[in-house]
Structure 1
Amino acid sequence: MLQILGQTEGNVIATKAIEKLTKSDYAVLLPVLINRLQTYEKIRWYFEMENFQGWELKAFWQDVKFDVQHANDFEKIAMVGDKKWQEWMADLMKPFTNAEIEFFELKDREKAFEWIKKAIE
């Protein structure tokens, strides 16, 4: 399940992924991302993972297609989770985008929000 969080404003999109992401989650998320890209040159994404277990296959395919098409449309991505593989996932994404990507533990979610909103120096 995917929730769009209240901190979504301007070019910041804040989401929380709970357990598994499905194709229907992407039916909600992709219009939000595309809408922001029509207004802002670059977007920033806060992606929190709670009991995150990955993607259903069709959802994973939706994610890959979007990421390939929009790899350079992200300015910053804050990945927030509690498992080592989630941190590795953040590291694996780095070669495929120009975005700054940082991993934060769940206990540091406020720090992650501060980071995602802070201007790049």
Structure 2
Amino acid sequence: MLQIIDIKKENIITTIAIGELHQKDIEKVHPIIHTILDKGLKIRWYFEMQDFEGWSINGFWEDLKMDAAHEKEYEKIAIVCKEKWQEWIARFMEPFTNAEIKYFDINQKGKAQEWIES
């Protein structure tokens, strides 16, 4: 499940991933992305993981398609999680985007939010 939470600035997407992400989870972010792009802004994404289990096959494919379609339109991505192994996700995403990607431990949420907003 992907929860979309408080959007503080018009170009920041804030989400919390819980459990396994499916295609419908990724698809609900599309309208937000296009609203940001329609304003001529770059996308900044705060992606927090809580008990994250990964993607279903369709969810993973949808995420890859979205990243590839908008690779030049992402500015920053903050990946926030408590499991150190999940840092590989940040490394895996690098070839699919021009964004600056940073990994933050879950107890660095405040620092991650400050970074994504700066």
Using structure 2 for the length normalisation, give the TM-score.
0.92
Tell me if structure 2 keeps the 8 A contact 1:11–1:40.
no
The corresponding residue for 2:91 is 91
**Structure 1 stretch displaced more, 70-79 or 8-17:** 8-17
- Seen in structure 2, the aligned counterparts of structure 1 residues 59 and 8 have a Cα distance that, compared at 3 Å, is farther
In structure 2, the residue matched to 1:107 is: 107
Work out the CA distance in 1 between the residues paired with 2:34 and 2:61: 17
Which amino acid in 1 is paired with 2:39? T
Structure 2: give runs of 5+ residues left out of the alignment.
Answer: none
Amino acid at match of 1:13: I
d(CA) in 2 for partners of 1:95, 1:56: 21
Structure 2 match to 1:77: 77
What is the one-letter code of the residue matched to 1:64?
A: L
SS in 1 for 2:52: strand
Whether 2:24 is the aligned partner of 1:7: answer no
Structure 1 residue aligned with 2:59: 59
**4+ long deviations beyond 6 Å:** none
How far the C-alpha of 1:8 sits from its partner, in A, is 4.5
Unaligned runs of 5+ in 1: none
1:2-53: CA deviations, max 9, x gaps? 1111134311110011111112212311111122111133110000000000
RMSD: 1.3
Q: Find the aligned partners of 1:15 and 1:40 in 2 and give their Cα distance.
A: 21
CA contact (8 A) 2:48 2:79 kept: yes
For residues 43-73 of structure 1, what are the alpha-carbon distances to aligned partners after superposition, in whole Å with 9 as ceiling and x for unaligned?
A: 1000000000001111111101111111110
User: What is the TM-score when the length of structure 1 is the normalising length?
Assistant: 0.90
Q: Percent identity?
A: 47
